[in-house]
């Protein structure tokens, strides 16, 4: 059996796959995010380790003893700063932290070739500008930085004692020469850093080390190999068979991501489309990223007193598509694709005396779907053709939301058995390849399809006018209108 561990933002998920690729056990442990100031988003690295152990130990001990390899997936971009003794110097700065906008501009000015090297424009979500912020605002901390690790790779360090990362996750630092799958000394130098402060790089299907004896004892398994793994989206793609040119998925987690595998490096930074390495060799991928997706669902559920996402989806369905004029712009933490606007914030528009909790819920589902459609447009303009999208993540549980998204994107959606397991599933498959060998196209074959959703013409018609209003609304709420 093979264990996949996903170091998420809201929690840790551990999943064990048996020899047939079926889920034999899983455990979950929750995490919280700290927001000490506006636009800040942080977590304690020690909380990742405690939650990882709790999630693994939640799996049946008999299943754990049969594990032959471990793969890691995780939230991307987080800056985990360690001193010379490998101790965290401060809370990790997360992917949805927006404090480093000024540093992004400074980095692009200092290194005009940045987008050509990294395939991406500088955004506050990336790791590099976070380090420049620390250098400017916490110079004593910056001076003591011996190593910078991504969240899953800090957990790897605790597991194995090795400082290692995979190229898919590392591509999200903005320090990687993405075309050549190696650290860029030029970009690191622009941040006053060196390759000596970076982990060793591996493909996602390579072994990076083995479980330390004390961790193996704690987890009730052998000192098994640990695999490179992948960033959460790349690992999620491996879990549902998105490992060939043109394969695509939609991940509905805290954020919303449209991910397309490519057989070559195809950057398009002008539209805030990400171009990263995939977690399997000789593949890359493009992504449109929306910072708020499932987080909007949780937010409006709290706002309206719903018990959780399931009740919120039920309220929206009771209202129906385009039930009222309400329009929601889902920019609670700013936005990446296509706006690259860290300062914009969410908004409800066109509320009236008939607005109620059901219609607010429906407007939020529509708003996230419209933002995803903007991202798909950016990918299309980059020359990427998407025939269908496989859906993974917690949002995959709602078929009603799927009907809204399919209509907004004018694209069929495919749902997989166990698709909500997400990146942990892919991480386990990467461990299987590392330990047993095999072709990723075979080992990472798509799971059985549970159902599909085609665009409903009635939904397309009812949502069309609101979608046009949505696209016109962003320039009116943006802090600095584009072009000024």
What is the set of active-site residues? 232
Instruction: Return d(Cα 277, Cα 102) in angstroms, integer.
Output: 27
Instruction: Return d(Cα 248, Cα 259) in angstroms, integer.
Output: 5
In Å, what is the CA distance from 465 to each residue of 138, 239, 337, 370, 471? 48, 36, 22, 11, 10
Say which residues have a Cβ less than 8 Å from residue 20's Cβ, sequence separation at least 6: none
Say which residues have a Cβ less than 8 Å from residue 479's Cβ, sequence separation at least 6: 341, 343, 344
Tokens of 341: 């606007």
Say which residues have a Cβ less than 8 Å from residue 8's Cβ, sequence separation at least 6: 31, 74, 75, 232, 253, 254, 423
**Please, what's the b/e burial string for 449-469 (b: 16 or more CB within 10 A of its CB; e: otherwise)?**
eeeebebeeebeebbeebbee
Say if CB 135 and CB 197 are below 8 A apart: no
As a 3-state breakdown, the chain gives helix, strand, coil percent values, each rounded to 5, of 40, 25, 35
The backbone torsions φ and ψ at residue 204, rounded to the nearest 5 degrees and listed phi first, read -65, -20
């Amino acid at each position: 059996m093979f264990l996949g561990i996903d170091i998420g933002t809201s929690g840790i998920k551990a999943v064990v796959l048996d020899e047939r690729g079926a889920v034999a056990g899983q455990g979950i442990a929750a995490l919280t995010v700290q927001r000490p100031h506006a636009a800040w988003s942080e977590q304690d690295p020690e909380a990742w380790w405690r939650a990882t152990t709790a999630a693994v130990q939640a799996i049946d001990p008999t299943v754990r003893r049969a594990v032959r390899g471990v793969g890691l997936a995780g939230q991307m971009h987080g800056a985990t700063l360690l001193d010379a003794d490998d101790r965290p110097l401060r809370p990790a700065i997360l992917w949805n932290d927006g404090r480093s906008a000024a540093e992004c501009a400074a980095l692009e000015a200092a290194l005009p070739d940045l987008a050509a090297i990294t395939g991406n424009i500088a955004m506050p979500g990336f790791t590099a500008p976070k380090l420049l912020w620390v250098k400017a605002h916490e110079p004593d901390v910056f001076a003591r930085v011996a190593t910078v690790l991504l969240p899953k790779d800090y957990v790897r360090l605790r597991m194995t004692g090795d400082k290692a990362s995979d190229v898919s996750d590392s591509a999200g630092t903005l320090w990687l020469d993405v075309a050549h799958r190696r650290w860029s000394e030029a970009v690191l130098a622009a941040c006053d850093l060196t390759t000596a402060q970076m982990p060793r790089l591996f493909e996602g299907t390579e072994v990076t080390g083995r479980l330390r004896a004390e961790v193996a004892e704690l987890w009730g398994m052998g000192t098994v190999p640990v695999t490179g793994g992948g960033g959460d989206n790349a690992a999620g793609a491996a879990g549902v068979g998105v490992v060939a040119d043109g394969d695509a998925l939609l991940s509905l987690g805290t954020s919303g991501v449209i991910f397309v595998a490519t057989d070559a490096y195809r950057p398009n930074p002008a539209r805030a489309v990400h171009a990263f390495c995939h977690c399997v060799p000789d593949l890359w991928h493009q992504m449109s990223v929306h910072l708020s997706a499932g987080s909007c669902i949780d937010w409006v559920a709290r706002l309206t007193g719903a018990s959780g996402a399931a009740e919120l989806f039920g309220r929206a369905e009771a209202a129906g598509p385009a039930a009222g004029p309400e329009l929601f712009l889902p920019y609670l933490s700013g936005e990446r694709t296509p706006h690259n606007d860290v300062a914009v914030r969410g908004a409800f528009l066109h509320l009236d005396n008939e607005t109620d909790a059901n219609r607010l819920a429906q407007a939020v589902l529509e708003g996230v779907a419209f933002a995803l459609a903007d991202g798909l447009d950016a990918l299309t303009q980059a020359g990427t053709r998407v025939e269908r999208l496989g859906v993974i993540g917690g949002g995959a549980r709602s078929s009603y939301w799927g009907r809204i998204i399919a209509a907004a994107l004018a694209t069929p959606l495919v749902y997989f058995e166990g698709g909500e397991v997400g990146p942990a599933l892919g991480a386990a498959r990467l461990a299987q390849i590392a330990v047993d060998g095999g072709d990723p196209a075979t080992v990472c074959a798509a799971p059985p399809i549970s159902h599909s959703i085609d665009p409903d013409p009635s939904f397309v018609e009812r949502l069309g006018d609101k979608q046009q209003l949505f696209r016109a609304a962003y320039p009116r709420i943006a802090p600095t209108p584009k072009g000024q």
